A and B are shown apart, each in its own frame.
Chain A
Amino acid sequence: MSMAFDILLALGIVFTAGTALGLRDRIASVTGFVITGLLIALSFVRLGAPDVALAEAAIGAGLTGALLLRSALRLKPAEGSKSPALQRFLAASIATGLSCALAWAVYTAPGTALYPALVSEGLAKSGVDNPVTAVLLNFRVWDTLLEIVVLFAALVLVRIIAPAVPQPEALGELMLPFMRVIIPVCVFLSGHLLWQGATVPGGAFQAGAMLAGGFLVLFMGGLALPTPRVMAFGKALALAGLAIFALAALATEALTGTLLFYPDGDEKIWIIAIESALTLSIAAMLYLLFCGMPRRPAK
């Protein structure tokens, strides 16, 4: 029974993806992308990875969908030049061949499970109970630090390119009541996800994405428009998160002698502190990535 569900879901994913890539109407393509993203999030739940499912739904489908929609409305469609049939045939055959080879290669790989035992062993002393949070914020926190640097680099890049800020249109009458409901929900849910990430699925990234969603709703309602003050505040939040993270890393080295090795017994405090800073920072970064970062006009 459950296997039939998985097969249907997998087929649905491939079908919506193919449709999204093949449609002419760009808005429909983006919508197809968001739907595929949500189906994939569902598949992550089926695969036993709820933290990842949350992140994929919020960031992968939600935020990326918002970004793509923003661009779909602005970009002119390219001339409908179709590639010659021979090229398409070749590309299709090579793509099919490679994809089958890939699936076969992964399926037949022996796969020794090394990590789970090591994770369970280290979980008790890691300061949290959720193994994914433990990996992200303790065992492999160096990866997480570099990941935030990726967002930082994207932000600097967007600032250099300085695209025009999207102008939200006046939305209908239901917007204000909607906002009155959704914004508090976003804030509470974000804080809840952050706190509960220590024991059950959740964490800084999911919470940050939730908060960013709230900011974007404010933006759509015309209340958090990227004025210079809002921009400055957002930029400060975004940069502060990375700075705090990096300084905390140096501090752990000063305290314990090893980089990012939390002092014994205090692991949970360090993790929560870093995660809180990260949540606000990620929310600000995602908001700024969406709104663009216009340069100050020349004086």
Chain B
Amino acid sequence: MMSELSLIVLLPLLAAVGAAAMPRSAGLWGLGATVVTAALAVSLALGLMNGGGRMVAISGMAAPLGIRFVADGLSVLMVLMTSSVSIAVALQASSWGVWPNRVVPERAASLRAGFWPLWLATMAAMNALFLSGDLFNIYVAFEILGLTAVGLTALSGTPAALRASFDYLSAGLVGSLLLLLGVAMAYSAIGRVDIAAVPVLSDLVSGRIALGLIVAGLAVKAALFPLHFWMPAAHSSATPVASALLSALVVKAAIYVILRLSIESGDAMGSLRLALALMGTCAMFWGAYGAIRATRLKLLVAHSTVAQVGLIVMAIAVSGETAQHAGFWQAAALLMVSHALAKAAMFIAVGRIAEELGHDRISGLNRDELRPAAAEFAFGIAAVSLIGLPPTAGFIGKWMLIDGLIERDAWIWVALVLTGTAMTAAYLSRVVSRFLRGGPHISARAEQPAWRIGDLAALGLATVALLLGLASAMPLALLEVTVL
């Protein structure tokens, strides 16, 4: 158990160094490390189901002075989520060439040399973050994520991408500094910064200010309205793989910490929860509005992320423990996982569609005699999961959320969730209807491009998102595992 925890962070890290040292075989390092890390994640999860949660004091020093690995159901579910998306992304990125002795065009070679070290470092940092039990440790992990995510955005090298990357990195730095300020305040308030201290923090005024600052920093990193301004630009100029990673994973790291803080603080932090719920609701509507108006597929999916992040944060905020009811944060966790799978599938599919058609204008989707059927199919299934139709995991998550809200007679929130769902359906059917509608692309003469590995990746992820609902007992059981 302990070995898995360290390897799950250190293995991708060493592979990142290897990929940076040997750019021509970066693909091998990358693919290999991703697969092995995924296997470790599965083994970790199985170990947890059998043996219960684990805490490890790194360097043998107990908290609060030392840092702890905390492997409970939620952390390990997040690690599994990262691994599943990472396999798909690695497959898609392998289209830039994996074997070192094959000749690839210069552009693909430089993409490959840049992508793998960044991606492996991202994976290492995310695993370190999910398993961390210390707020300052989480801050440093976020700094890594900030740089690697920006690197992935800047990979395409266009002027627009560079400009978006600068703004993203600046915004990310402000977010990290708010987080650090919150940690500083927590230290001033209670003299320690480990996560186990959060209940103590939420009892003090200065502690609540500290938590507020931390959540503000996290809100910037999660692209929560109104701090989401960096996201659409970053997405529209990033390669599809980078977008998949940004929306599906990097943003989740911040949301995970918000969820963790919410769980730890119990029934305190009422005003902060309300603020988060309101921001989440605004994000849902603003993102949906942006998506409905979008002219390009990538921007539509990017705005959809803003909306979904809003929904998830709102779910976290309203599902906290109260004096009368138990918390139902598991709904938010399921929504996070299903969104990660579906969004990554969607971005990879959009990337394939754009590759085949040469553009990603929504109005042009049914104008050519070209039909990237596999990618469109993947997009459609992912859309089902995002809207939250059965039997997807998104449906289970929303069901649990609405159920919990009804139990508390919180009808306003129920209405808001349902409206958000309807808007999601609206903007996604804009796209799906074009896939199915009349036009030269469904005529007999239309050609279907050959399947590529990206199509398989997208389809695989979308299918998992679809079927996870049927197998939702597994993640829910995993979430039950706590650290004793």
Give residues in A with beta carbon < 8 Å to B: 102, 105-106, 108-115, 118-119, 122, 138-143, 146-147, 149-150, 152-154, 156-157, 159-161, 235-236, 239, 242-243, 246-247, 249-250, 253, 256-262, 295, 298
B391 within 8 A of A: no
B209 within 8 A of A: yes
Q: Is there an interface contact between A247 and B14, defined as CB atoms closer than 8 Å?
A: yes
B10 within 8 A of A: yes
- Which interface residue of A102, A106, A108, A115 has the most chain B CB atoms within 10 A? A106
Within the complex, which residue of A106, A108, A149, A258 is in contact with B60, where a contact is CB–CB below 8 Å? A258
Which residues on the B side are within 8 Å of A138 (C-beta)?
59, 61
The CA of A259 and the CA of B5, in the complex, are separated in Å by: 9
The CA of A246 and the CA of B121, in the complex, are separated in Å by: 13
Which residues on the A side are within 8 Å of B2 (C-beta)?
253, 257-259
Interface-located stretch among B133-141, B246-254, B256-264, B410-418 = B133-141
> Given the interface contacts A115-B191, A160-B155, does A150 sit within 8 Å of B204 by beta carbon?
no
Within the complex, which residue of A110, A113, A160, A246 is in contact with B114, where a contact is CB–CB below 8 Å? A160
> Given the interface contacts A139-B59, A161-B162, A259-B59, does A298 sit within 8 Å of B154 by beta carbon?
no
- Besides A149-B144, A243-B14, A259-B69, 13 other CB < 8 A contacts? A105-B185, A111-B188, A114-B190, A142-B58, A142-B67, A147-B140, A150-B143, A239-B21, A250-B7, A258-B57, A259-B6, A261-B58, A295-B110
Within the complex, which residue of A109, A122, A139, A259 is in contact with B206, where a contact is CB–CB below 8 Å? A109
Within the complex, which residue of B6, B148, B204 is in contact with A153, where a contact is CB–CB below 8 Å? B148
Within 8 A of A (CB), among B101-132: 106, 110, 114, 117-118, 121, 124-125, 128
Chain B interface residue count, CB cutoff 8 Å, equals 57
The CA of A105 and the CA of B185, in the complex, are separated in Å by: 8
Q: Is there an interface contact between A115 and B20, defined as CB atoms closer than 8 Å?
A: no
Interface residues of chain A: helix, strand, loop or mixed (majority): helix
Q: Contact string, B18-59, partner A, CB cutoff 8 A, digits 1/0?
A: 001100000000000000000000000000000000001111
Within the complex, which residue of A140, A239, A298 is in contact with B20, where a contact is CB–CB below 8 Å? A239
The CA of A56 and the CA of B230, in the complex, are separated in Å by: 30
Distance (whole angstroms) from the CB of A88 to the closest CB of chain B: 19
Which residues on the A side are within 8 Å of B17 (C-beta)?
152, 239, 242-243, 246
Within the complex, which residue of B6, B67, B128, B191 is in contact with A253, where a contact is CB–CB below 8 Å? B6
B189 within 8 A of A: yes
Q: Can you name 22 A-B pairs with beta carbons within 8 Å?
A: A105-B185, A109-B189, A110-B204, A111-B188, A111-B190, A113-B191, A115-B65, A140-B137, A142-B67, A153-B121, A153-B144, A157-B147, A157-B151, A161-B162, A236-B21, A239-B17, A249-B6, A253-B2, A253-B6, A258-B58, A258-B60, A260-B59
